[in-house]
Structures are given as C-alpha cells and as structure tokens.
C-alpha cells in the first residue's frame, strides 16, 4: 500500500492568480484517490478539469496557431510502461481522453486527421474548440501527476501548443522523455518552451538524475533548469516520487498545487 498524492500545474507563464484554478483540479484528483480510485482515473479527470477551464492553454482555452486554427496535443504515461499520446488534433476539447484510450492499444500515438478519425470511430466528443488569441505570457500547458494507494503512478499533460506556432508544429507535450516521463516510483512533467524542452530531453534527464543520485526532487529539477535552460526561456517542471508531496519549480511564474493523503 502507498500514500496517495497528486501534483498539478497550470503552465509556465500565467500569473500566480491561476493557482486557485489548479487547486480545483487537484481536489478532483484527491477525491478519486482518497476513495481508492486509480492514479490513471485521477490524472485523467484532473486534466479534463484543466482542459475545460478557459484560463489555461489546453483544451477549451488553447491558443490559436498562426493560421487561426486550434490544434491540441496530450499525453499520458503510467509507471508500468504504458503510453498514449495525440498530436495536433482539431475539434477535440479533451484530447487527454483519447491519449488515455491508447493506453489499451498496441499503438502509442496518433496525429492529426487520423487521430480524429480514430476518436470518431470510438465516439469521443467532436466539437469545435473555442480557443483564444495568443498573448505573450500565457501559460502553455497543463500537467497532472498522481500516485494511488497501490503506489501506482500516472502522468497526464495537455496543451494547445506554445503561442505563435504554425499548424503542424509539434511541441514537447506528446513527445516521450521531453514533456513527460514516468517510471516505477517517480514521474516528471514539463511546461514552457517546447523546442528547448525537447532538444534537451528534459523530463527524462531530470528523472534519471533523481534516480541515479542522492539529490532531492527539488535539487534534480533545479539541476535540469540550470544545466540545460537559458534563464530567458520560460520552463517549469513538476515531479512526484514514491514518498512525500510533489515538487514544482520554474524559472518563471507557474501555478502549481500538490496534495497528499493519509
């Protein structure tokens, strides 16, 4: 048996005032975990809360691409080695649900038109995503990591993509090791400039540092930010290991919140 916990963030960049919105998602996950629910369900439902909240650049609040389209990415990984991700989906308010459905499939990932067709065949919601005008400083991703009473981990992330990016551009969120990585007893999720996060395989490197040193989670994230990220480029990370609460750290504002059960 383990002690359930959750940590969530609302993206590198938005002001700390969005912290209250992140807490709502954390509460949803905590209720599921407290009542014995799975880390997977808790991560998905908390991520859906953030996708449905127009304050965040994910799902409903996703920023327009440079051609005015709204295209969303999402991913989920579990500590038993399963993975699901979707890339550049249109008309998809909750891409995390489609990424999660891939946990049960042979394929890991789907992109674009094919992803939408796959989701349509299985009855996933297909409706126009409102989206919004990109603005400097709008956060770029949401992320949730959960640990359930069995010590099982899940990590879910979702985004409309960084602001001022063209249609077809792929960021870190759906790329394993870049925007997220999960193993037994630990998970890391990133937010911020997807190009820099991807070039540095940032989530995997930080997880690897933690697993192969005596550094704390905080030290490991701090190491990753100092080693690979120029301070002028906004990046943040959250992480949760097999004991204690989650840790969040960013070189900019990043609303985040964590909860631990009994």
The residues that are catalytic are 141
What's the min distance (Å) between Cβ of 231 and ligand GLY?
17
Q: Which residue is nearest to ligand GLY (CB)?
A: 194
Q: Which is nearer to ligand GLY, 5 or 99 (CB)?
A: 99
Position of tokens 């030290």?
219
What's the min distance (Å) between Cβ of 225 and ligand GLY?
15
What DSSP string describes 92-128? -S-HHHHHHHGGGSS--EEEHHHHHHHHHHTT-----
Say how many C-beta atoms besides its own lie within 10 A of residue 212's C-beta: 9
Q: Provide the pairing of β-strand 72-78 with 83-89.
A: antiparallel
Q: Which is nearer to ligand GLY, 84 or 171 (CB)?
A: 171
Structural contact between residues 177 and 62, judged by C-beta atoms closer than 8 angstroms: no
What's the min distance (Å) between Cβ of 126 and ligand GLY?
22
Q: Which is nearer to ligand GLY, 31 or 169 (CB)?
A: 169
What DSSP string describes 214-249? S--HHHHHHHHHHHH--TTS-EEEEEEESSS--EEE
What DSSP string describes 4-21? -EEEEE--SSS-GGGHHH
The token pair that represents 18 in the structure block: 């969005």
Q: How far apart are CA 156 and CA 91, in angstroms?
A: 20
Q: Which is nearer to ligand GLY, 5 or 173 (CB)?
A: 173
Question: How far from each other are the two terminal CA atoms of the chain, in whole angstroms?
Answer: 11
Q: Provide the pairing of β-strand 109-111 with 83-89.
A: parallel
What's the min distance (Å) between Cβ of 193 and ligand GLY?
6
Residues that bind ligand GLY (CB under 6 A): 140-141, 159, 161-162, 171-173, 191-192, 194
What's the min distance (Å) between Cβ of 139 and ligand GLY?
9
Q: Which is nearer to ligand GLY, 30 or 203 (CB)?
A: 203
How many residues are present in the chain?
262
């Amino acid at each position: 048996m383990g002690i359930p916990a959750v940590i969530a963030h609302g993206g590198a960049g938005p002001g700390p005032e969005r912290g209250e919105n992140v807490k709502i998602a954390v509460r949803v996950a905590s209720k599921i975990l407290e009542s014995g629910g799975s880390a997977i369900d808790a991560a998905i439902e908390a991520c859906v809360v953030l996708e449905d909240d127009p304050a965040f650049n994910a799902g409903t609040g996703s920023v327009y691409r440079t051609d005015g389209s709204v295209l969303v990415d999402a991913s989920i990984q579990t500590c038993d080695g399963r993975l699901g991700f979707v890339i550049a989906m249109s008309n998809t308010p909750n891409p995390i649900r489609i990424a999660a459905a891939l946990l049960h499939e042979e394929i890991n990932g789907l992109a674009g038109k094919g992803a939408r067709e796959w989701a349509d065949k299985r009855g996933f919601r297909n409706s126009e995503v409102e989206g919004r005008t990109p603005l400097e400083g709008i956060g770029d991703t949401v992320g949730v990591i959960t640990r359930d009473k069995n010590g099982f981990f899940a990590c879910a992330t979702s985004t409309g993509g960084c602001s001022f990016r063209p249609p077809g551009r792929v960021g870190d969120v759906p790329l394993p090791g870049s925007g997220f990585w999960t193993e037994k007893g630990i998970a890391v999720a990133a937010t911020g400039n997807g190009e820099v996060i991807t070039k540095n395989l940032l989530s995997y490197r930080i997880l690897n540092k933690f697993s192969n040193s005596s550094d704390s989670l905080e030290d490991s994230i701090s190491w990753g930010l100092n080693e690979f990220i120029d301070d002028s480029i906004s990046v943040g990370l959250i992480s949760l290991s097999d004991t204690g609460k989650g840790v969040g750290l960013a070189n900019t504002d990043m609303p985040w919140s964590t909860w631990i059960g009994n």
